[in-house]
Amino acid sequence: MRLSFRFAIALAAVILLVLGANALFGVRRDLAMFEDDMVRDAATMGRVLGPLVAETWAREGEDRARSFVSAANERETVQVRLVYPGGDETTKPLIDAQELSSLQTPGNLVRRTRIVDDGVEVEALATYVALPAPAGPGALLEIAEPLRGEQAYTRRALLSAATTTILLALLCAGATTVLGVIFVGQPVRRLVDLTRRIGGGDFSSRLDLRQRDEIGELAGALDSMSGKLEKAHNDLAKESAEKLAAVETLRHSERLATVGKLASGVAHELGTPLQLVSSHARLVVEEPTVSSEVKESAEIIREQADRMTAIVRQLLDFARRRPSSREAVDLADAAQRAARMFVGPADRTSIGVRVTKPAETVEVEADPEQLLQVLSNLVTNAVQAMPKGGQLEIEVGGGSRPGVPGDWARLSVRDEGVGMPPEVRRHAFEPFFTTKDVGKGTGLGLSVALGIVEEHGGSIDIRSEDGRGSELVVWLPKVRPA
């Protein structure tokens, strides 16, 4: 906006200067023409009156000639006098007699002078015409015309020129300001805003100016630079995220390795004592001479020892993978075995267990025991997610895996439990992550299951909504029939 205003002021000044000079030259030219016309008119009058005055002088005398000249004054707007160089006040010329010495007959002399017109001294143009014989020697006809008309014309012309010049300058300045704002001010403002956004780290904005001029070229260069900066920024952010993820993965792996070593040591140290406690508690329960209260206490001790043994086994499974012995396994049979393991506990909690399998056999190459452990961990999580009961469905199938080529076996465990919110889904497979109360879970079930499935070349997907149940889908490479 300021640039357009300055440009408009500069243009207005130039227009004022040019038009003012042109008006001044025009007025001066008109004045020169005006004076030339006055000189020609006076010369013509002199040529006409001169012979008449001379003839009147010759026939009727000087007094009659002067009366003739006075009569001419009454009819014209000019002052006509009969003068002599060196005459008295009434017949003395308006200019110096020395200037008249070069005047010859026929001829005339024009000079600027001042006369009294209507009681006011004004500037006038005096023309002197030498009278031919038989007028008196040195007699001149003085024709003086006031320049009032010229001065009035000059004032009107200058006022008109000044008014026109100022109006044109203001009109041009206004038009220049408007056009400058449209074609310069607004684009420049957008350029400034874009550079400020780029300086603030926003590289996604673009101008898309359609102007085919230098500002349009500058806008195109800024858009191109902004696009390159955005790409560089995104690449840098991606690289930084990948580096941070790699560092976090490395730290996580180191933490898991440390936890694995600790878990292995703890499991090894607790395994044998727990077996002894469980064995002796079982002997107490089986002893017929022991009272019922002691047997009940011993049974509680045995159950808790078995529970601790299961926890130790999970720690060992997490800490060190057992070498797998793979063979072709019917996925539907494995699902049936897992379902039978939980029929009793599920009945006690009002949970229905159903296995859905296809008509054709779906086989995978896997370690049967490890595959059963995966199913056991998934079904255990599903049962624990339905404290109020519900339906648990294990479905076996095959087909294509979204986004991954090949022939895949699909096993899903679907429950009607509490579901998982997004923040829980993100950490579901992390070791020791659990939403259960203290003492009700180690947080290793899904982590161990994922590790076994990945060792078999597969993966596990989670589909869940908070309050609407969960579905865990296991994908394993399908064995092609021979």
Select from 401, 398, 417 the least CA-distant residue to 409. 398
- Residue that is last in its domain, among 320, 351, 385: 320
**Three-state DSSP string of 464-482:** ECCCCCEEEEEEEEECCCC
Residue 299 shares a structural domain with residue 354:
no
Q: Give the bridge partners for 117, in sequence order.
A: 120
Residue 125 shares a structural domain with residue 65:
yes
> What is the helix (H) or strand (E) element at residue 219, kind and residue range?
helix 214-286
Is residue 175 included in any domain, yes or no? no
Residue 353: what pLDDT?
85
Residue 74: what pLDDT?
63
Predicted confidence (pLDDT) per residue in 445-477, tens digit: 788 888 888 888 899 998 888 888 899 999 999
How many other CB atoms are there within 10 angstroms of residue 146's CB atom?
20
Residue 264: what pLDDT?
66
Select from 221, 210, 205 the least CA-distant residue to 186. 210
3-state DSSP call for residue 8? helix
Residue 316: what pLDDT?
64
Residue 298: what pLDDT?
82
Select from 179, 233, 182, 177 the least CA-distant residue to 203. 233
Residue 327 shares a structural domain with residue 470:
yes
Q: How many domains does the chain have?
A: 3
Residue-range definition of the domain harbouring residue 388 = 323-477
Residue 313 shares a structural domain with residue 329:
no
Residue 378 shares a structural domain with residue 269:
no
Averages of pLDDT over each 10 residues, the chain, 482 residues: 68 77 79 77 78 81 80 70 76 72 62 75 80 69 77 76 81 78 75 79 75 75 81 86 79 65 68 78 80 82 76 64 77 87 62 86 88 87 84 87 85 88 81 65 76 88 86 87 58
3-state DSSP call for residue 130? strand
Residue 350 shares a structural domain with residue 461:
yes
Answer whether 339's CB lies under 8 Å from 304's CB: no
pTM here? 0.44
Predicted confidence (pLDDT) per residue in 242-292, tens digit: 888 777 767 766 666 666 676 667 666 777 787 788 787 888 778 888 788
